[in-house]
Amino acid sequence: MSAVGHAADETPTRTPRSRGGLTRSVRDSLVVAQRNLIRMLRIPEVVIFGLIQPIMFVVLFTYVFGGSIALPGAQAGDTQAYREFLMAGIFAQTVTFATAGAGAGIADDMHKGLIDRFRSLPMSRGAVLTGRTLADLVQTALTLVVLAVVALLIGWRSHENPASVLAGFALLLLLGYAFSWIGALIGLSVRTPEAATSGGLIWLFPLTFISNAFVPVNGMPAVLQHIAEWNPFSATVAGARQLFGNTIDSVPRSVTGAWPMEHPVLASVVWSVLIIAVFRTLAVRKYRSATA
């Protein structure tokens, strides 16, 4: 017995092989994203209410305000020209307003102690936030699909090939994903989901309205023209219009000579990647300190 026990003691203990850090982070992020998507399916009213607001904006700006907004060179009451000018702005506003929902969701998880449960698991620290933002990206993509159908029903048309149109929507989703990291940082920085919702919206209104989304920039005061044309939101709107073939010859591309307006697609990608790099770093750092 002692010899057998001694031999057993000398048997090397096998430890499970750990996967690489990147592989583990990707796997954990996808698991968290799946969890959030299942949660969205179980609470469909969240998705439904998220669809109502952009549809209301489309109807309001097209049928209420559209007849009063004159584009340079367009005839008075030319609602078709304004529809094509407007829709890229509505699409961009929709993906950015999802930021408030992302922040509120993370704040709710923090408030309920769910983040502490994730912390107790052997998982990548950044996976909780990455999974959440990926799930929000999927929800935003579904919202864009529904909104595009509504836009087609009211008369919006693209004038480019399908590949270019898909690239335009990809540009919009990239901006939405970038802004979701701002929402994640806000959600980690406040105490309640209500505060996260308010904090997520209060800065979005000036960002979206001091832009080229709803009216041409040339009618703004000179100071606001410069702000609007260096606005990351404006770059994405202009880039989407270009990829959709919705640019209007009579509406100047830029009135201040701003580089983002001269190269909107490239500028939009640069802005989005920069926002992701900065705010993902800040959000993950905040998450680690909040759960330390």
Site of tokens 């806000």:
186
pLDDT at 200: 78
Site of tokens 């920085």:
189
Q: How far apart are CA 280 and CA 70, in angstroms?
A: 40
> Where does the pLDDT of residue 225 fall: very low under 50, low under 70, confident under 90, or very high at 90 and above?
very high
Three-state secondary-structure class, residue 199: helix
Site of tokens 């606005």:
231
Q: How far apart are CA 197 and CA 187, in angstroms?
A: 8
State the sign of the Cα–Cα–Cα–Cα dihedral 19, 21, 23, 24: positive
pTM: 0.84
Report the alpha-carbon angle 275-281-285, nearest 5. 145
pLDDT at 90: 92
- Asked whether residue 20 carries a pLDDT value surpassing 70, the answer given is no
Q: pLDDT tens-digit profile of 79-132?
A: 677 888 889 999 999 899 888 877 887 887 777 766 667 666 667 767 888 888
Q: How far apart are CA 68 and CA 79, in angstroms?
A: 9
pLDDT at 211: 94
Portion of the chain with pLDDT greater than 70, in percent: 84
Hey, how many other C-beta atoms are within 10 angstroms of the C-beta on 80? 13
pLDDT at 175: 96
Q: pLDDT tens-digit profile of 226-251?
A: 999 999 999 999 999 999 999 887 78
10 vs 63, residue with greater confidence: 63
* CA 13 remoteness from chain centre: 48
Q: How many angstroms separate the Cα of 207 from the Cα of each of 51, 111, 153, 201?
A: 21, 28, 28, 10
Q: How far apart are CA 228 and CA 242, in angstroms?
A: 17
